[in-house]
């Protein structure tokens, strides 16, 4: 998670929403990493998770990342969560909880919690991740 936070801080320096992501294989070996790059790429799909997953799939020449773990500084949005499920990532660890997803998540049964063998856990370095996001949004407004 510490490296993901460093990536989020890097994104902040480029006026991106400060989100970082790290992907590790079943041996916890770093496979890919990214930060948000939507502004840099003029692409609204360049969330940290999507960029890291694309990179890992290209690197490994596959479309499935079974038994992988993903570490993200912010709870994944619906788009990223759908991709995480689609590629078969089993372990999702994130820092800050997303306020914008709070009401949405109440209405939906969490896919990860309803399946055996999946971990969807938040709150890792939560204070630090939340502070980084809050500071960034205050600066923009």
Q: List active site positions.
A: 49
Distance of alpha carbon 30 from the chain centroid? 15
Whole-number Å distance between alpha carbons of 123 and 36: 20
Q: In a 10 Å sphere around its CB, with 0-12 CB exposed, 13-18 middle and 19+ buried, how is residue 29 labelled?
A: exposed
Q: Which two tokens stand for residue 110?
A: 């969490």
Nearest partner of 89 among 78, 97, 81, judged by Cα:
81
How many residues appear in the chain?
141
Q: Which residues pair with 24 in a beta bridge?
A: 30, 69
Ramachandran area for residue 55 (φ above 0: left; ψ -120 to 50: alpha; else beta):
alpha
């Amino acid at each position: 998670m510490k490296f993901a936070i460093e990536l989020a801080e890097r994104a902040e320096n480029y006026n991106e929403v400060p989100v970082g992501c790290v992907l590790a294989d079943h041996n916890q070996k770093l496979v890919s990493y990214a930060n948000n790059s939507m502004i840099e790429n003029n692409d609204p799909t360049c969330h940290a998770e999507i960029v890291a997953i694309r990179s890992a799939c290209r690197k490994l020449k596959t479309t499935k990342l079974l038994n992988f773990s993903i570490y993200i500084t912010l709870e994944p949005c619906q788009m990223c969560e759908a991709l995480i499920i689609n590629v078969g990532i089993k372990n999702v660890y994130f820092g800050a909880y997303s306020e914008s997803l709070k009401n949405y998540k109440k209405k939906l049964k969490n896919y990860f919690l309803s399946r055996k063998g999946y971990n969807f856990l938040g709150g890792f370095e939560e204070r630090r991740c939340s502070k980084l996001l809050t500071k960034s949004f205050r600066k923009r407004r």
